[in-house]
Amino acid sequence: MTEAGYDYFDVAADVGVRAWGPTVVEAFAQAAQGVFALTIAPDEVEERETREVRAQGDSPESLLVNWINECLYVHEIEGFAVRRVEVTRPGPALVHGLLRGEPIDTRRHRPGTVVKAATYHQVSVTEERDRSEVRLIVDV
């Protein structure tokens, strides 16, 4: 298994995203990357612009759900396609990150799955000494 990454797990009518990394920061970034990969393939997107995203939460799980939903807001409302996600400032109640990509261009970006929102159903954040993993289900 790679040091950081994401994959999907089966859930009836929705999509489960599992992401991991050496730190919870990287796991959060990979989770967002995995969600964005459902909407538009990252290799179709160029890093032309950056968008900042901030989210707050009173637990690691609520922070993850709020983070993903704020990222989805930028995608859906601003029409922004994402190639790469960076988490720049993690904290127990706040996460700040950068989305690198470009405005959606329907001539070049093939639409994938429409992701409505991250849910609290089966959400988890686990941290071990040298590996963190997050799991969440997104409503599609």
Q: How confident is the model at residue 103 (pLDDT cuts 50, 70, 90)?
A: very high
Residue 117's CATH number: 3.55.10.10
DSSP codes, 15-82? EEEEEEESSHHHHHHHHHHHHHHHHS-GGG----EEEEEEEE-SSHHHHHHHHHHHHHHHHHHHTEEE
- Average pLDDT of the residues in 62-77: 97
Cβ-contact 44, 108 below 8 angstroms: yes
Q: Is the full-model pTM beyond 0.85? A: yes
Of the chain, the end-to-end C-alpha distance in Å amounts to 27
Q: How confident is the model at residue 1 (pLDDT cuts 50, 70, 90)?
A: low
Q: Is the pLDDT of residue 139 over 70?
A: yes
Domain that holds residue 133: 5-139
Q: Is the pLDDT of residue 65 over 80?
A: yes
pLDDT digits (tens, 9 = 90+) for 29-55: 999 999 999 999 999 999 999 999 999
Q: How many domains does the chain have?
A: 1
